[in-house]
Structure 1
Amino acid sequence: MPDSFPTYADWLSGHPDDVLVDLLWRLRAFHPSSLGSVSDVAALRRLDATGLAVLHALVVAGADHQPVELEDVTTNLTQLWDAAGTDPERRADTAAVRATTHTLASWGLVFGPGLSVSPQDPTTAPGAMKVPMHLPPLFSATTDLPWVLVDGYRCPIPTEDLPEVLNALPTRQRRLLDTLELSGGIGHSATLDDPERPLARMIAAGLLDRVDAQTARLSLRVSASISGRVVPLPGGDFSALESPVASSRPDARTDATAVARVVETARLVADVLQQIGNTPVRPLNAGGIGVREIARLSKALGLDAAVVSDTLVLCRHADLIAVGLPVPAPQDVIGNGNFWSLSERGATYLSAPLSRRWAMLVDGWRHSPHAPWSAQDDAGTDAHLLQESLDAAEAAALRGVVAASGQVITAEGLWRIRPSVAAVTSEAAVDNVRDECVILGLSADGEPSSAAVALAATVSDGDSDSADEDRLTAALADILPAPVGMLIIQADMTILAPGLLDGDTEAKLRAFADVESTGMASVWRVTRESMQRAVERGETAEGIEDFLAGMAPDVPQSLWYLIQDTFRTHRPETPVVGSTAASVLTAPDEKSMAAIMDTDAAEETGLRLLSPTVAASSVQLSLVVEALEDEGVTISIDGDTGTGRATAAPVFSTVPDPDRPATSFTQVADQLAGAVEGFRRTRQDEDDEAGHSGETTRVHEPRAIMAALRHAYDAGTSVEISYVDATGSAVHEWISVVTMSPVSIIGVTEAGGQSLHIQPHRVAWVGTPVEATDEP
């Protein structure tokens, strides 16, 4: 190795502090020792299939102990793809491999004089390069991260045939495969060469991969099929990925279909939020929502139970509903009690324009860990809708990948984009998330919409918390058509909105008309009952007439008559005034209040007399009003400036937003800077350390490693050791060997005197001081 070639630590040290801080932030590594092991599993989880393949080829080429060139990488890649049986059309070309080396360097996984953590021109030659010493064990043939291996895709059986092939196996062979799946996928046997034995037969069939004379491993594709996870293509797919931001804009038909769907979704969400804000839902003991409550919501909303369930899940994704003690308290609460109710964020949603509503739904969805499909997959769990036990980090990771891709994700495509996520994702999860994308207007007719492209442009790769809801709102507003400024009113009392309505116009229409159909265009019907509802909610005849005159070129005479007749005849009889100080009713005299207290509604809502003309309840005002009006008592609201006769506009019960702490860069900036400072201080201490300032001789072969450790133990000298601990993190220490065996090495660190228990197969290399091993 040329003397000028930097060590990994030297290469990192050559970057400015802000670049190293950014690397740690992207990796979410906040500890002082982070920079010493940035190339551990956390970084590998960020890579696509091609990135892992190039890294695998670098390890095979020996880049951990000597610099290699791009030609060496492409040669080893070809050999790996040949072993895996990768289709030539699914292999990355030289340009893609070259660009990938720069991507790997940006994650601190490859280093060299021509590479940098900072962004570089992907077309430039990377020059000689190496990988950190602690990477090779992660790419061994018996790694516990099989998704990093190119040849793990080698099973040639078509994906659709795998279940049938597995089910047709003899009982003993299938039991062996199931056992291997549960025990890590690695098996040892002295009978691998015996064609009459089950293991040899399964190796011949492509179900097992042979590692050496006595070791076999379960094919990654077979393992995925057995466990119900998504199965990659035979041989894998390593072709270049197209950036969704750089691709052409989706066609107008796709966008129109997507927008129409999200308009309907946003309306359903608003309806459910209003209902649950008016009448909070009591949770089950485990926290979810039971079938009976869903049926009640379905009846109240006039919707199918499945639609209500799906909409509630969307509300949960975006934190528009939450569990807590509602204020004001719902009707059936005496004392304390938690309910599913409208969150403060949900209340914001109800007052927001469509573009903001869309952004809130999409941005909340992409972070959500809720996996409702788990209740269907796992018969052993008795989980219900919205139950917290259905939350899983894998679900949030999958949605994050879909959001960043700007594509319609398939099971096989997920392996191409993010193998680490595909390795823990079920087929049901992919299907459900794809359906969610349709509901949210991110795709239509199997194609991504402009909303999906806008979301991908907003999400920074490697920074799952960087989406700016304001930016996303602005981008989605550009996709939505402009609201219409006119209505078409027909003689049969129907009102046609020929396009999208803005929030104020829709709210005004909803006050005196019933919606009959929604979408890009909507149809509303005015009836005497809907107009009476407008009277009861404080609307005025003049206000409705001015609204219609300003929006419609022609208003039928019959509608004018209906408005005037309803407002003239539908008048209050008992002017009872309510205010929202925990639902207080004030009557003009004792007789009026006595009539109210004599109703069943008074008992149901817990009304109690404070004085002969004042009563109060712990139940929210809108529910008190509704119960009394069902018995013919008319209530007006304190502060109403209308006709003097109106019921309350809904006074929603709300709960605080869920506590979902998300780390921002600002919060940890000082911590990251401290980690970089600690790394530089450690590097300086190492340079100044007299005991280990000389050169070392490093060995990498297992036998040589054990021999060097044995020599250090016998001579009582220290050794430099690099290994991967049980969490997958790389560790680099100077140790004194206390004892050792073929299965365990026990040592004490020189720096802190800590005891270490190391498994030999996790050791990447051992370095001994030159003067300690020189012969006279």
Structure 2
Amino acid sequence: MRSLADDLRGRTDAELTALLQARPDLARPAPGDVTSLTARATTRASIQRALDGLDLAHLQALEAVVVAAPASAGEVAGLLACDVARAEELTGRLRELALCWRSPEGLRPARPVAEVVGDPAGLGPPGADVPQGSALEQALAAQDARARSLLDALTWGPPFGALGRTGPMAAAAAGLVDAGLLVRLDEDHVQLPRQVALALRGGRLHRSTATAPPEVEHSALDPDVVDAAAGGRAADLVVLVTELVDLWGARPPRVLRAGGVAVRDLTRLAAHLEIDPDQAAWLLETAHAAGLLAVDDGGRTTEPSATWVPTTLADEWLEDEPGARWAALAQAWWTMPAAPSLVGAGPGPGSGAGGRVNALSTHTSYPLARVRRQDTLRAMAALPPGTAPTEDGLEGLLRWRHPLRTTRLGGEHGGTVVVLREAEWAAVTGRGALAGPGRRLVTAGTVEEAAGLMEPLVPPAVDHVLLQADLTAIAPGRLDGPVRTLMHLVSDVESRGGATVHRFGEASVRRALDAGWSADRVLADLAAASRTGVPQPLDYLVRDVARRHGQARVGSCAAYLRSDDPALLDRVEHDRALGLLQWRRVAPTVLVSPVPASTVLDVLRDEQYGPVVEGGDGGLELGAPRWHRTTARPGAPVRVSSVDEVVARQVVALMRRGEGARASGLDDAGAHTDPLVVSAVLREAAATGEAVWIGYADEVGGVATYLLRPESVVGGRISATVGDGNALRTFLLHRVTRVRTVD
């Protein structure tokens, strides 16, 4: 085999299928033959993408191949200070990924790999006049202490040094240059040749070997304890999202003109749920990604502007089992491109022109956050169950598993700290360790499998409360079903935790009366839901509010207020807080206002007068509360790779047919017209000195055919000789219409 293309042609269909699955960018669009596949696999962008997925052991093995090429497994093992079997395993994987190919002399890197890798392991280029073998050892042994200190400073890189023109170090450097141990770049700079650096390093590439994952500092926990903690977290998550759906279903916040949720609405939600604004922003983004929230633009309602409301999918979600409800949220968080940690930040990668980043806005989109999230949790999945790694230990493991990507992402927007915090909120982890359901979700398990594992871990909902004499009720667990609906209507949550405390007050009781409930019904339902009976203070509160409820009645005038109690109307008429209603007395028991009845009703309720709506026949109109809903609008699915085994086999079959047509000698069967392939073939020909046929468009649109021997391809220009001539001519790369190698 003379090249990577020959190596790929000699592979089986199964091997090519595995290559396309490991490097899916090579299959889109489908290459017509192996030459096209080789050209695409040797582009800088594709190689960089492949290197991003390598761990540190494979990266160091690739550096060893670049240094020793053509390299044998024994040479790679010596450079990595490992056994030959491990070196063969590492280099075998590099060859499977088409980053290396096997020549008769040994393993060689694909041509652009060395350019992408740069200076391997901090080594400089080889020197031309460096002593070899025992002569090099003798030359190093003959150096004095000053010269050795200079060599030691350059041994592990960088291999370049700046020196003065005079002084002891300049003299020592001059002696090393004369001995062939340094190369002078100019009057002030020297370079350590690769051969000398390897000799000084003892034949190793790096100070410490990285052929195995590092030991991760951690705490060992009982997996059952971890799962139980995750189950409790899942129950909390389900409760919070249920409260969110109830709150925004009744009082949806408006959508900002620039998109997203206003800061005051986010703060109000955080206070209602008794969580931090950071967690509230995360909760909103996760619920939105799960399709439970969407924008209602008022197209089918009388709303004056767009609002954020729950979707019809939220109603289906509320009817699911707790495990399935958790799994839908956890899966949405696992795949969503949003970075909730950006909310509240100033200008950054997601904020565009600048300013504050609002929750649910497009500025929270940051796909690299998803990459960091998935890298982190997959690293945790590689640890034994019950392992709770420290932050530093997990960072070290990430730097080994994905060194290039981790270095590029760095600690941006919290990094590992943010991922671990959100994983706890999502109940994917418990007490810092990956839980069983979370592990199934992370390791490509189905949502149904994860839901099945979580279902028995979620504490069951309770169907009762404990009413207290201080006008509170304690829910000893998660409420669900009719009891949750009842307590949500007639009480307000005072504190959350393992046991939730609900507070009864005039406003909460009036809320039930406004919905058409009677005092007897409220007390009867509370008695049925309580294990302790209805305390006397609560009975007094409900009946007292019910006795005063409905004494004032609002109708249309634009609005009128009627009451059988003239003293109440006197108080309403002279209440300064109601001055905007512009009351006018038309009878001892009737006030009228030019303000619409709906506004009069809201204002009187805000001032605790407890009015009810009166119909045209004088009867009461008690309507049920309105729950806002809109149609679910699922976002575009996130696809990291669309090449499965079936697609890869189809692409391989297409390439085989292309290779067969090329071998049959059909006209232009071996010609390539893809600009990417054209450029790669010409660069390969320039590196190997081979000749190629090209089609070249002139100024008037005609296409001529030339036999070229490219010398270089730089800046969109090709320097080449034509035919048997020796004179260099320049061709413009963008005018080359096709290229075909000379067999």
TM-score range, shorter chain: 0.5 to 0.7
Letter in 2 for 1:385: N
Gaps of 5+ in 1: 79-91, 114-127, 153-185, 205-209, 218-232, 460-467, 577-586, 605-618, 638-642, 695-701, 720-733, 749-753, 759-765, 770-776
Q: Is the contact between residue 322 and residue 658 of structure 1 (CA under 8 Å) also seen in structure 2? A: no
CA contact (8 A) 2:373 2:419 kept: yes
CA contact (8 A) 2:553 2:614 kept: yes
Aligned partner of 2:77 in structure 1 is: 74
Q: CA deviation at 1:54?
A: 3.6
Give the Cα–Cα distance (whole angstroms) in 1 for the partners of residues 650 and 683 of structure 2. Answer: 40
One-letter code of the match for 2:378?
A
Give 1:57 shift.
3.8
8 Å Cα contact 1:365-1:399 kept in structure 2? no
Q: Is the aligned partner of 1:475 residue 2:426?
A: no
Contact between 2:713 and 2:719, CA under 8 Å: does it hold in 1? no
Q: 2:372 aligns with which of 398, 411, 420?
A: 398
Q: Contact between 2:57 and 2:211, CA under 8 Å: does it hold in 1?
A: yes
State the match for 1:683 in structure 2: 659
Q: Measure how far apart 1:690 and its partner are.
A: 7.7
* Map 1:202-213 → 2, pairs under 5 A: none
Structure 1 residue 594: deviation in Å? 6.0
One-letter identity of the residue aligned with 1:654: T
The equivalent residue for 1:31 is: 30
Q: Are 1:280 and 1:653, in contact at CA under 8 Å, matched by a contact in 2?
A: no
Q: For the residues of structure 1 that align with 2:622 and 2:560, how far apart are their CA atoms?
A: 21
DSSP-derived class of the 2:708 partner: strand
Residue 495 of structure 1: aligned partner: 473
Q: Which amino acid aligns with 1:31?
A: A
Q: Do the aligned partners of 1:532 and 1:566 also contact (CA within 8 Å) in 2?
A: no
Provide the secondary structure at the position in 1 that maps to 2:116. Answer: coil
Distance in 2, matches of 1:20 and 1:420, equals: 21
- The correspondence of residues 491-530 of structure 1 with structure 2, limited to 5 A, is 491-502=469-480, 504-527=482-505, 529-530=507-508
1:355 corresponding residue in structure 2: 323
2:553–2:561 CA contact under 8 A, matched in 1: no
In structure 2, C-alpha distance between the alignment counterparts of 1:644 and 1:307, rounded to whole Å:
43
Q: C-alpha offsets along residues 744-764 of structure 1, whole Å, 9 cap, x if unaligned?
A: 66289xxxxx97479xxxxxx
Deviation of the 1:415 alpha carbon: 1.7
1:681 positional shift: 1.4
- Following the alignment from structure 1 to structure 2, what is the Cα–Cα distance between the partners of residues 270 and 391? 25
Mean Cα deviation higher: 423-432 or 47-56:
47-56
In structure 2, distance between residues paired with 1:59 and 1:624? 81
How many angstroms does 1:249 deviate by? Answer: 7.7
Could you say if the C-alpha distance between residues 44 and 16 of structure 1 is closer, same or farther in structure 2, counting changes exceeding 3 Å?
Answer: closer
1:381 to 350, 354, 357: 354
Equivalent position of 2:9 in the other structure: 9
| CA distance in structure 1 between the partners assigned to 2:603 and 2:14 by the alignment | 73
CA contact (8 A) 2:477 2:499 kept: yes
Q: After superposition, what is the alpha-carbon deviation per residue over 1:181-208, rounded to whole angstroms, capped at 9, x for unaligned?
A: xxxxx99x9x8453689xx99xx9xxxx
2:667, 2:165 → 1: CA distance? 59
CA contact (8 A) 1:622 1:650 kept: no
Could you tell me which residue of structure 2 aligns to residue 50 of structure 1? Answer: 57
Give the conservation status (yes or no) of the 8 Å contact 2:255–2:307: yes
Percentage identity across aligned positions?
21
Q: Distance in 2 between matches of 1:624 and 1:656?
A: 34
Matched, 1:649 2:625: yes
Structure 1 residues 15 and 708 mapped into 2: Cα distance closer, same or farther (>3 Å)?
closer
Rounded to whole Å, the distance in 1 between the matches of 2:242 and 2:183 is: 61
SS at match of 2:80: helix
The 8 Å contact of residues 693 and 741 in structure 2, kept in 1 or not, is answered as no
Shift of 1:286: 3.5
**Scaled by the length of structure 2, what TM-score is found?**
0.61
| Map of 2:213 onto structure 1 | 240
The superposition leaves residues 672-713 of structure 1 with CA deviations (integer Å, 9 ceiling, x where unpaired) of 66533322211222333489999xxxxxxx99975853x74x
Amino acid at match of 1:52: L
Distance 1:318 1:635 in 2: 39
CA distance in 2, matches of 1:109, 1:708: 18
Report the alpha carbon displacement of residue 396 of structure 1 after superposing the two structures with TM: 1.9
CA contact (8 A) 2:323 2:455 kept: yes
Structure 2 partner of 1:452? 438
Out of 308, 325, 330, the position equivalent to 2:297 is: 325
Equivalents in 2 of 1:150, 1:452: separation in Å? 38
CA deviations on 1:93-145 (whole Å, 9 max, x unpaired) are 877666656766775667899xxxxxxxxxxxxxx9987x773522x2x5278
**From 673, 691, 708, the counterpart of 1:737:** 708
1:237 Cα offset (Å): 5.4
Residues of 1 paired with 2:262 and 2:545: CA distance?
42
Q: CA deviation digits over 1:439-461, x for unaligned, max 9? A: 223335443344432322345xx
Partner residue of 1:222?
A: none
Equivalent residue number for residue 112 of structure 2: 137
Cα distance in 1, alignment partners of residues 118 and 601 from structure 2: 62
Decide whether the 8 Å contact of 2:292 with 2:632 is kept in 1: no
Q: Provide, for residues 41-63 of structure 1, a one-character-per-residue CA deviation record: whole Å limited to 9, x for no partner.
A: 34433333334334444454536
Alpha-carbon distance in 2 for matches of 1:514, 1:681: 71
Q: Tell whether the 8 Å contact from 1:326 to 1:654 is kept in structure 2 after alignment.
A: no
For structure 2, list consecutive stretches of 5 or more residues without a partner in the other structure. 124-156, 174-180, 192-205, 382-388, 563-572, 582-595, 671-681, 695-704, 721-730
TM-score where L is the length of structure 1 = 0.58
Distance 1:293 1:567 in 2: 30
Query: Partner letter of residue 50 of structure 1?
Result: A
Q: Distance in 1 between matches of 2:92 and 2:480?
A: 47
Q: 1:490 to 1:420 in 2, by over 3 A?
A: same
Per the alignment, residue 141 of structure 2 pairs with none
Residue 47 to residue 445, structure 1, CA distance change in 2 (3 Å): same
Q: Which amino acid aligns with 1:240?
A: P
User: Contact 1:277–1:654 at 8 Å: present in 2 too?
Assistant: no
Distance 2:309 2:239 in 1: 18
Deviations 1:217-253 (A, max 9, x none): 9xxxxxxxxxxxxxxx99695533899xxx9985444
Provide Cα deviations, 1:388-409, integer angstroms capped at 9, x if missing partner: 2342221121122234334566
CA shift digits 1:328-358 (9 cap, x unpaired): 6575x2xxx5444444555555555543332
Take 2:339 and 2:426, find their aligned partners in 1: how far apart are those partners?
A: 16
1:514 Cα deviation after fit = 2.8
Flag the 1:624–1:739 CA change in 2: closer, same or farther, 3 A.
farther
Q: Which moved more, 1:566-575 or 1:384-393?
A: 566-575
Aligned residue for 2:331, secondary structure, equals helix
Instruction: Provide the rounded CA distance (Å) in 1 between the counterparts of 2:688 and 2:279.
Output: 67
Change (3 A) 1:539 1:9: farther
Count residues in correspondence.
Answer: 586
Partner of 1:462: none
Distance 1:422 1:558, change over 3 A: same
Match of 1:610 in 2: none
> 2:332 maps to which residue?
364
Cα distance in 2 between the residues matched to 1:492 and 1:368: 45
Q: 2:284: which partner in 1?
A: 312
Contact 2:16 2:652 in 1 (8 A): no
In the TM superposition, residue 487 of structure 1 has moved relative to its aligned partner by 4.2
Alpha-carbon distance change, 746 to 704 in structure 1, aligned in 2, over 3 angstroms: closer
Contact (CA 8 Å) 2:27, 2:643: kept in 1 or not? no
Matches within 5 A, 1:77-226: 77-78=80-81, 135-138=110-113, 140=114, 142-143=115-116, 192=161, 194=163
Q: Distance in 1 between matches of 2:659 and 2:29?
A: 18
Letter in 1 for 2:110: L
CA contact (8 A) 1:282 1:338 kept: yes
Alpha-carbon distance, 1:667 to partner? 11
Q: In 2 relative to 1, CA 740–635 (structure 1 residues): closer, same or farther, beyond 3 Å? A: farther
Larger-Rg structure:
2
Tell me by how many angstroms 1:384 deviates: 1.8
